[in-house]
Amino acid sequence: MKYPPIHIRDVPIAKMEEKNGWNISEFRLPITGESGSSTTVFHSIFKPGSTHSKHLHSRCPEIAMYLKGHGVVGQGAGRTNVRAGHFRVMPANSEHFFHNETKDSDAEVIGFYIGAKDVEDTGYKYCGPVTEDDLNTERAGFSEGILVHIDDVEPEKMDEGDGWSITDFRLPISKKNGSWFTLGFIILTKDLIPDKPHQSLCGKCDICIESCPTQAIVEPFVIQSDLCIAYHTIENREKTIPKKIEKNLNGWVAGCDICQDVCPWNKSVPYNNTFETTPKEWMKNLGIDSLNWDDKTWEENLKGTTLKRIKPWMWKRNIEANLKNNKLKL
């Protein structure tokens, strides 16, 4: 048999350098380039309290599946909790770590270095230890990569006539996750090989263009920022919001998700009601009283969120603009 099945217990433990952040109790590589694969599969066992320190992979994304235990993960500047059943995608060049907080048992993780034949081929780089501050930072989620729990994914309806005699088949990471992601960028001095451009799945659909209240989407995939509600509520540093935008705010004070809300690809995405992604209570109760908050109150409320980009005076400006129409929305 050219490619015989491999059992994890038949795979030797890889010798990884602890000085490079590999404080993992057991790390095995059952499938690598040596076995003819273009993607490396790894299996990790974390004893209670063990950590894979801050690191990144410059040449490939990583996918991890948490099979057992629970802990804290870092992704860029963000922190959040994970437990058995979580699936996670870490983009190339995104710093990340995992710390096992299970006190009486091991944490078990299986994962994939996509398009890399071994660990060295991933462009592995050690970025530093995980400190007490990292573990004590508010776990408010992160804006890089993908994190989804299998319980939040609906089973697929597959045709048994096509051979799908599977009791429960789910796709936690696929195009069915829709477009609810935060985009970011990293400025580098090194030239990178670009990924293959993603193909459009829109077809003839233009519902986002038709639904934008300010006609900010001037053509497919092109947004005119000075017409965009999200731009004016988050990025615009002027003391007032243009009248054309103000009259169309319709309650938005921090961004605008209308184009996301109406996208057909987002209709079947399960609602994520985890603590990290649920709006805080103060966000749900913005009103005229919020105009009296001092900067210290705003800073405390915004701590650990990406909404810190909106300065306190901008929040007040956006609230005042919406109070004219007796509407507020996040």
Q: Which of 132, 152, 172 is the last residue of a domain?
A: 152
282 pLDDT more than 50? yes
The answer to whether 82 and 52 are in contact (CB under 8 A) is no
204 pLDDT more than 90? no
Tell whether 160 is covered by a domain. no
| Pair 144, 252 in one domain | no
| Pair 53, 126 in one domain | yes
Residue 200 has a pLDDT of 73
| Pair 26, 116 in one domain | yes
Q: What is the pLDDT of residues 148-182, one digit of tens each?
A: 899 988 888 877 777 887 888 888 877 666 777 66
275 vs 202, higher pLDDT = 202
285 vs 277, higher pLDDT = 285
Residues forming a β-bridge with 108: 45, 68
Q: Which of 178, 145, 173 is nearest to 73 (CA)?
A: 145
Average pLDDT over residues 49-64: 93
Average pLDDT over residues 308-328: 85
Residue 93 has a pLDDT of 86
Average pLDDT over residues 264-291: 73
Q: Which of 119-128, 192-201, 260-269, 272-281 shows the highest mean pLDDT?
A: 119-128
Residue 96 has phi, psi (to 5 degrees) of -155, 165
| Pair 142, 219 in one domain | no
106 pLDDT more than 50? yes
Tell whether 300 is covered by a domain. yes
Q: Which of 133, 152, 171 is the last residue of a domain?
A: 152
75 vs 276, higher pLDDT = 75
Question: Which residues lie closer than 8 Å to 59 by C-beta, 6 or more apart?
Answer: 92, 115, 116, 121, 122, 123
Average pLDDT over residues 105-118: 94
Tell whether 189 is covered by a domain. no
Task: Quote the tokens at residue 47.
Answer: 């004893």
Say whether pTM exceeds 0.75: no
| Pair 24, 110 in one domain | yes
Tell whether 202 is covered by a domain. no
Tell whether 183 is covered by a domain. no
Tell whether 242 is covered by a domain. yes
228 pLDDT more than 90? yes
| Pair 226, 313 in one domain | yes
Looking at the structure of the chain, the number of domains it has is 2
CATH number of the domain at 81, please.
Answer: 2.60.120.10
Q: Is residue 2 very low, low, confident or very high in pLDDT (cuts 50, 70, 90)?
A: low
Average pLDDT over residues 89-117: 92
| Pair 105, 240 in one domain | no
Tell whether 184 is covered by a domain. no
Residue 330 has a pLDDT of 45
Least confident of 93-107, 174-188, 199-213: 174-188
The answer to whether 113 and 30 are in contact (CB under 8 A) is no
Give whole-number Cα distances, 178 to 36, 173, 223, 265, in Å.
Answer: 33, 10, 19, 5
Sign of CA dihedral 196, 198, 204, 210: negative
100 vs 261, higher pLDDT = 100
Tell whether 60 is covered by a domain. yes
8 pLDDT more than 60? yes
| Pair 16, 148 in one domain | yes
Domain, as residue range, for 216: 207-323
| Pair 20, 147 in one domain | yes
| Pair 37, 140 in one domain | yes
Q: Which of 21-25, 130-134, 258-262 shows the highest mean pLDDT?
A: 130-134
| Matching residue, tokens 């939040």 | 152
| Pair 37, 145 in one domain | yes
| Pair 130, 217 in one domain | no
274 pLDDT more than 60? no
Q: Which of 86, 118, 152 is the last residue of a domain?
A: 152
